[in-house]
Amino acid sequence: MLPQILKTTEINPEGTNIYLIREIADLPADIFNVKENEYITKQLAEKDQNTVILNKLGHIAAICRIEADGKKTLDKIFEKCRKTGESLISILNEHKTESVCIVDTSNLQSEALAFAEGMALGNYQFLKYRKDQKEKEASLKTIEIVSQDLEQTRITELNILCNAVYKCRTLINEPASSLNAEKLSAEFEAMAVEAGIKIEILNKQKIEALKMGGLLAVNLGSIDPPTFSIMEYRPEGAINAKPVVFVGKGVVYDTGGMSLKPTTSMDTMKCDMSGAAAVASAIFAIALAKLPVYVVALVPATDNRPDGNAYVPGDIITMMDGTTVEVLNTDAEGRLILADALTYAKKYDPLLVIDIATLTGAAEAALGHYGMAGMHNNAEQYFPQLVKSGFGVSERIAEFPFWDDYEELLKSEIADLKNIGGRVAGAITAGKFLQHFTEYPWIHLDIAGPAFLDKRDSYRTAGGTGVGVRLLFDFVRDFGGNGVRD
Ligand code: BES
Ligand code: ZN
Ligand code: ZN
């Protein structure tokens, strides 16, 4: 259940309150009695202890000390706040608490927001397929914030963003049996209508007319047609005349195709449309928040399966831009569908293109779920800003080398390119393959590691994490220099 975050001015002493303090002296007088004050002081004096929880009659009071900027960077402090916020969720839900109030005693607005963000994101559940969903449902519905100078816009944006992350996670968690390419596109359409975004969904006929050979080849093994979704948000008075284009990998299920994956590697492959879900959810949030930036999101979608008619290793396919590709592994399908989308993006003469994809096991092996791999070509002007956003929202980007030399690994004897680069540098050769289809400032993000978790990690709940949504939103918000972040 997505809690609503609201700003209030009144502290209800009988309610469930969380006091964010910098030091003990910040605690409001008259809330705790002498004994309680002594207990809190003693607890906080213990090393590393920053949270004290008091179980008062019928409600809970928590005191959380927020470290001062200096020893740690602000980015780390915000992440700590999100995680501390999340750590209180289960206690609150156990007590069937419906409403909680964060009391920002020291006017630390960003910290208070981060705290609320961690609570809201940590409260996510995917209960659709459970018989006991009513009993399991989290009780928390409202997060109030008392914070003197906190602007309402920031709370509004946070609500929009948490809602978008929830949508993204649910799209990822939905099994492939009920979310094929057409259904995924229909979900995007519903989101577009809600947010006032223009959307066009190209069907198989149109995809054929455009000669999207990569998308069509991957789709050969499927009984469902592919789709290509185009979402366009162009607000009046946008600060950019040329759009920022997002491209998301929409493989609704990746069996590997004829180069079939081993069973256990397949278990989580409903997550192979996490990039698609992220770009759609990001543009959804950007439009709802009315950010003054012209943004387009493109999603090629299909499943990847073996079948009588499936494409096979050894096939040579012709991509939308005429490039021929020798397919040597049908499990390297993401780059094939993305390449056509990157070609399609040229028609916008884009300012910048960012693709986001669960592209390689190599990126996951290199970074685990702790960060995504980032590469870019010609985007010196934008890449550092994206990396900065990544730290700010804790969806971190590790830049991988992107030297020309890696292109050698993709040379084919009989076609313009082959679709795999061999044993080494798998995340980079995948990026290099994509680069072949770009001729604009371009950033590639490989989210194979952080997109999906087997086990909850604080406010990143098990299953789809929604990684990328907060990153892209933050980047676009600050794009025009009139963002509201500190
Ligand atoms: N969807 C996978 C990559 C993936 C792996 C995503 C783990 C999430 C978690 C992708 O299509 C794939 O199978 N890539 C191959 C490429 C290889 C055949 C060159 C891989 O990484 O093994
Ligand atoms: Zn694959
Ligand atoms: Zn894949």
Per-residue model confidence (pLDDT) at position 440: 98
Per residue in 321-377, pLDDT (tens digit) is: 999 999 999 999 999 999 999 999 999 999 999 999 999 999 999 999 999 999 999
For residue 474 and ligand 1, the question of a CB distance below 6 A is answered with no
Please state, rounded to an integer, the average pLDDT across all residues of the chain: 96
Q: What is the mean pLDDT of residues 22-32?
A: 89
Say if residue 127's pLDDT is above 90: yes
254: CA distance to ligand 2 center in Å?
6
Instruction: Compute the distance from residue 10 Cα to the ligand 2 centre, in Å.
Output: 53
C-alpha span between 370 and 281 (Å, rounded): 21
pLDDT score at 47? 67
CB of 377 closer than 6 angstroms to any ligand 1 atom: no
Comparing 289 with 14, which gets the higher pLDDT?
289
Closest CA to 277 of 251, 245, 296: 251
- Residue 483 pLDDT > 70, yes or no? no
Across the range 39-58, mean pLDDT stands at 87
- Quick one: the chain helix, strand, coil %, rounded to 5? 40, 20, 40
> Residue 43: what residue type?
Q
User: Is 332 close to ligand 1, i.e. is its CB under 6 Å away?
Assistant: yes
* Residue 175 and residue 270 in contact, taking contact as beta carbons nearer than 8 Å: yes
With a cut of 50, say whether residue 482 has pLDDT above it: no
Rounded to the nearest angstrom, the distance between the alpha carbon of 190 and the centre of ligand 2 is 28
| pLDDT at site 56 | 85
pLDDT above 50: residue 445: yes
CB 153 within 8 A of CB 161: no
152-173 and 469-479 helices, crossing angle to 10°: 140
Q: Which amino acid is at 332?
A: A
252, 307, 359, 421, 458 from 433: Cα distances, Å: 21, 26, 11, 9, 35
Instruction: Give the three-state DSSP class for 44.
Output: helix
- State what percent of residues in the chain have pLDDT above 70: 98
Cβ–ligand 1 contact at 364 (below 6 Å) = yes
Cα angle value 18/134/458 (rounded, 5°) = 40
Residues involved in catalysis: 261, 335
Q: Which atom of ligand 1 is nearest to the CA of 419?
A: 19
Q: Which residues surround ligand 2, an ion (CB under 5 A)?
A: 254, 331, 333
